[in-house]
Amino acid sequence: MFPILTLGHRDDYFKELNSRPQKGVYFTRFIGYDDERAFAAFLGTLRTKARQNGIFLDRTIPNPTIEETQQFYQAVGTNYRYDLHTIQQNIRLWMGSLKPFQVTAVSEAVHHLLDQLKKQNVNDNILKNAYIKFMCWMHNIFGAVMKSLGNEPPKVLYIGDISKYEVYMLYILACSGCDVAYVNFQSDDSYLKTDRESRFSKAVLGRIRKPIDLAALQKEQELGQKTQNLRQMIDGMQNAVSTNDWLTRPFLEVLLLSNSERHRSVNPEIFNFFAVYLGVDANLDEYRNRLFHLKEDLEHSKKNWLLIDQKLMNPTFEETQPYKDIQYTNTDRQTLLWELVSRIHVCDDRILTLLAQRSFLQIMEQQEEGSLGRLYNHGVRLLCWLGRFQSKLYANYQFEHQPAVVYYGDITAYELMFLEFLSRMGVDIVYINPDKSCKELLMQHAKSIDAKVEELAGSAAVFPYPQRETKVRVATAAYQASRELDEIMYSDTGMYRRRQFTRVRPVTLKTTFDEIKILWKQEAKYRPSFETKDGYVTVPNIFAKITGIEDNKINAYWDNVRRLITDKTVLVTQIPFIKLDIANPMVSNSLRFVKNGEVQFETIKRTKGYPYDYLSDDLQDTILEKMQELIDLKWISDYDRDVNPLIAATILCMDRFILRMLQNFDYVGQLPKLVLVDIYESMLSLEDCIFIAFLNLVGFDIVIFTPTGYRNIEKYISPAAFEQYDIGPYLYNLQIPDLRTSSMLDGGVGSIFNRIFKKGRNS
């Protein structure tokens, strides 16, 4: 008979017999626990082992039926004696499949318990009933356990309240050579009714007395096993992709080469690259043609490929549905990641799926610690984008011709992460940006993506990806000399060519009221914070609302307004001043122009009646980019409606007069102006406010004079967009005098503006 050992640590249950202090078994009562996660893990492991070799009991053992007891009588007879020899004979007859050493072990355990009961003066009738119950249970409930007795103890786990004969049965199992664990999350009372002095087992008491959800525990265990198996398969893909290590030539020379042409390897391995093509060279037409030919070459190659030249739209509701059931509140980081990993399936291809799973884990595990909600959102975004493009990239997949992605233009950190995700899967990545201002973002991710960067000398604002070849002009020697002189004169010298810059980044100045009068007529290049870099010019402009009248001096007030009206000033004295015509196609189509907060550049340009196609490409792109910037800044808001379509419609309905001002705008010189005088109680319209905010973003100086102190632009424009100055008492019932110069009276800027937007472009 096996001795019952005192438990040192829960993990002792899983030690082999030869590793224990002596060749014995454990019978321990666990009443409550101190660490829920640790105890749940122990129970999970013990339950798994009990199901593999032993038994798990979480409900009362049913009493033997009449049929079962009759079977026992027929097998062994009805004359019972409780000496060891008789018990052995009965067990051989009743459980004939047991091996001799198992019969001996079980017989000794039953004899030992019955001897204990006799010493407690239990009468023969009770003893007989107990004996029959034990024999029936061993045959019908614990038969597999009996047959498992041997070198390593079978595990018996019982959870819940327990009856007297069940306590006896657990003791028989322990003495026979089983490791027995009795668990009661709340109380030891039911056990102690039978074994008051704890002679059969010892108790381990915990301070926490509440049940553990075993169903959830089982699910967690199954996920853990599934995760472990998946991890082993993913680890097997560790050396499947080699990115850039083999790359010794410019990416354009190797882009169309097959996998085996790129590098010869004994092992199946994907040789791909992540290349960054940054800036432009001296001949912009040649650069555009290079991009066009890159697209043409890919279209005629065997590679699946994808051109991304617009911001990636956030996942749609439908795209996120497969991940909605994933819980990220009551879990841990690793469990969440593996739950997401298990949802990855690429074109029903096992290898591609494993590559994607490996890549996803590498990307997500390098993310900084943060909330699980953010981690979930990052992961779902990546998987939705993969789902969006995988069929195009992997249709009729061939190992020799890995797919390629060409990403052109400005990029966000999330989109860069997506390119890294694809690269680690084995996709060729080419990121192209003529504007070098993206270098800072690339440097932040340099360690992660380890891209091969090819940087050209110049920088230019992002233009639409070339759709046709440009006829290249060959420079004469004189022209080349002129360009070299031009470079010397206008590079970092403080001198600028007329309209040298085509992209503007305005920065609103924080000034005093008196400074506005000083700065107003000052050229942009002489203002504080003026800067030129990477083809952009930072223009310090003024966006101010001035309330009240200084010292109640009305005449001086109007004189100050007059001094701000130059030959580049738009004067507004009537509000509201914009009336959009609903028949205008830009208004009726505006819902198509902005989707999920993203301006649809190509949709707008292809729309019938698009009003700006006669403008230069740079000016068209500037207008649409500023439309996007106004949406992104969220300066414009209205609780009653979605403002984004109206932003698009308003900006696309500007009069030729304003467009000509924008076309003639030289960002380094005098800035165009807007002066608005509001003496009324009526409010500016939402369209008025959109237009004013747009002019600020393209570089206009703007001053709103409001002697009454009433609200006007605040209704729709965020206070973060402008500066406000309160210069004196508020006055009412004023009349606006003639504020225009003689040239304006003859049809200049101020006299024209009141007709803007009334009938669209043709006014």
Query: How high is the pLDDT of residue 384?
Result: 96
Q: What is the pLDDT of residues 79-92, one digit of tens each?
A: 778 889 999 999 99
Q: What CA–CA distance (Å, rounded) separates 701 from 397?
A: 56
The reply to whether 483 falls in a domain is no
CA atoms within 13 A on the CB side of 138: 34
Domain that holds residue 95: 4-212
Q: What is the pLDDT of residues 109-143, one digit of tens each?
A: 999 999 999 999 889 899 999 999 999 999 999 99
Residues 170 and 304 in one domain: no
Q: pLDDT exceeding 90 applies to what percent of the chain?
A: 51
C-alpha distances (whole Å) from 585 to each of 621, 651, 673 are 20, 13, 29
State which of 179, 212, 245 marks the end of a domain: 212
Residues 551 and 451 in one domain: no
Residues 50 and 79 in one domain: yes
State which of 420, 455, 490 marks the end of a domain: 455
DSSP summary character for residue 526: G
Q: What is the pLDDT of residues 662-706, one digit of tens each?
A: 888 777 778 889 999 999 988 899 999 999 999 999 889 999 999
Q: What is the pLDDT of residues 258-316, one digit of tens each?
A: 998 998 876 778 999 999 999 998 788 889 999 999 999 999 999 999 999 999 999 99
Query: How high is the pLDDT of residue 487?
Result: 46
Q: Where are the beta strands (DSSP E) in 53-205?
A: 54-57, 155-159, 179-184, 202-205
Residues 206 and 263 in one domain: no
Residues 151 and 237 in one domain: no
Residues 179 and 267 in one domain: no
The reply to whether 514 falls in a domain is no
Query: How high is the pLDDT of residue 316?
Result: 93
- In the predicted structure, residue 8 carries a pLDDT above the cut 80: yes
- In the predicted structure, residue 512 carries a pLDDT above the cut 60: yes
Q: What is the pLDDT of residues 446-472, one digit of tens each?
A: 666 678 889 998 888 888 898 887 655
Residues 446 and 376 in one domain: yes
Residues 414 and 352 in one domain: yes
CA atoms within 13 A on the CB side of 633: 20
How many domains would you assign to the chain? Answer: 3
The reply to whether 177 falls in a domain is yes
Q: What CA–CA distance (Å, rounded) separates 522 from 515?
A: 11
Which distant-in-sequence residues (6+ apart) come within 8 Å of 271 by Cβ? 242, 246, 259, 262, 263, 265
State which of 437, 455, 473 marks the end of a domain: 455
Q: What is the pLDDT of residues 347-380, one digit of tens each?
A: 888 889 989 988 898 888 888 767 888 899 999 9
Residues 300 and 361 in one domain: yes
Residues 106 and 202 in one domain: yes
The reply to whether 242 falls in a domain is yes
Q: Strands 531-533 and 536-541: what pairing?
A: antiparallel
The reply to whether 350 falls in a domain is yes
The reply to whether 622 falls in a domain is yes
| Residue 224: pLDDT band with limits 50, 70, 90 | low
Cα dihedral sign, 242-246-252-255: negative
The reply to whether 120 falls in a domain is yes
The reply to whether 611 falls in a domain is yes
Residues 155 and 291 in one domain: no
Mean pLDDT across the chain: 86
Residues 208 and 240 in one domain: no
